[in-house]
Chain A
Amino acid sequence: MKLKLSYGLMAIVLVGALWAGTTRNEAPTAEERAQAIAHTIMCPVCRGQSVADSDSPAANNIRIDISRRIANGESDDEIRDGFARQLGPDVLLRPSSSGFAGLVWVLPVAAFVVAAGGIAFAFLRWRRWATA
């Protein structure tokens, strides 16, 4: 009984804290948007780093371009597509979720489901033997 009260109280406090910690009241600023987008564009000359992390002049130019496009009123997706067209689709660090390439989002989930299913199946089989 005391245990149930304890956990009940825990749940209330937890939900309250999470709620307090996740309400978002303002839309992201232009600078925040630029940072977020910059983290998803790869610097074409620096081997895997995003333009947000890289110091190279190429990355600088792209960051300036991102701010310019935001000021122009382009949406996040439009900006990303624009760079993909200009610099090649592999400049986007977040792979698309469509087509064969998009399978990369699905396969880990599928692997988890299959493996978890296998474990569940094993447990069921073990239980059957115990009662056999």
Chain B
Amino acid sequence: MEPLAQPPRRQRAAVFVAIPLGLVILLLVAVLITRDNAAERADFNPLLGKAAPEIAGTTLDGQQFDLDQLRGKWVVVNFFATWCVPCLQEHPYLVSFDRRHTQANDNVQLISVVFNDDVDAVREFYEQRGGGYPVVNGDQGRLALEYSVIRVPDTYVIDQIGVVRARIPRPLNSADELDQIISDLTAQLTRQASSGP
């Protein structure tokens, strides 16, 4: 039986592997910690700058509704449901936004689309909590899919020629947020128009 050979005096191999490995892992951590939320990322793009998909259906009052009829106005399309707590939280902001623009009788219109909810529950909700803007039936989720809406609340801002200009895939922060967005977009579009060919 051979005697165990004496290994040579070892350099600190463990350290030489550990330090680069540690650095790589820290780099990975740095990358991960600076990433945006996937929901904000994933939902962000598809319709931006494109023609808004058709919204045609019946409102809560039984009227026929067609998005095309609102051409010439800024349209805010808000997807919601009564069982969604953040939707309940932003509802007062939408109501005050709508009231402001109805009184001013300007070119901004808010509409809501029901996202998989019971129509009677929605009607009761609006009776309790107010909101005089058109609420369109979501057609069993078909409209939501066309707008890539997978969770609510989700709000789109469509400009006067029917192009999707902004999307807020989360509850609104304040009653003025939409106004801010629309005025920013108006300024941006005016600048683009004036600097064009």
A and B touch in the complex (CB under 8 A): yes
Chain A residues near B (Cβ < 8 Å): 44-45, 47, 56-58, 87-88, 129-130, 132
A residues near B6, Cβ cutoff 8 Å: 129
Q: How far is the CA of A78 from the CA of B6 in the complex (A)?
A: 63
Minimum C-beta distance from A122 to chain B (A): 10
A residues near B145, Cβ cutoff 8 Å: 45, 56-58
Q: How far is the CA of A45 from the CA of B141 in the complex (A)?
A: 12
Chain B residues near A (Cβ < 8 Å): 2, 5-7, 42, 45-46, 142, 145, 148, 150
Q: How far is the CA of A87 from the CA of B45 in the complex (A)?
A: 9
Known pairs A87-B46, A130-B2; A45 contacts B148 (CB<8 A): yes
Minimum C-beta distance from B116 to chain A (A): 13
Of chain B, the residue at the smallest CB distance from A90 is B42
Contact B142 A57 (CB under 8 A): yes
Q: How far is the CA of A45 from the CA of B148 in the complex (A)?
A: 6
Q: How far is the CA of A47 from the CA of B67 in the complex (A)?
A: 29
B residues near A130, Cβ cutoff 8 Å: 2, 5
Minimum C-beta distance from B20 to chain A (A): 12
Contact B5 A45 (CB under 8 A): no
Minimum C-beta distance from A128 to chain B (A): 9
Minimum C-beta distance from B152 to chain A (A): 14
Q: How far is the CA of A57 from the CA of B53 in the complex (A)?
A: 15
Contact A132 B5 (CB under 8 A): yes
Q: How far is the CA of A130 from the CA of B42 in the complex (A)?
A: 59
Minimum C-beta distance from A25 to chain B (A): 42
Q: How far is the CA of A64 from the CA of B158 in the complex (A)?
A: 29
* Known A45-B148, A130-B5; 18 more pairs at CB < 8 Å: A44-B46, A44-B148, A45-B145, A45-B150, A47-B42, A47-B150, A56-B145, A57-B142, A57-B145, A58-B145, A87-B46, A88-B45, A88-B46, A129-B5, A129-B6, A129-B7, A130-B2, A132-B5
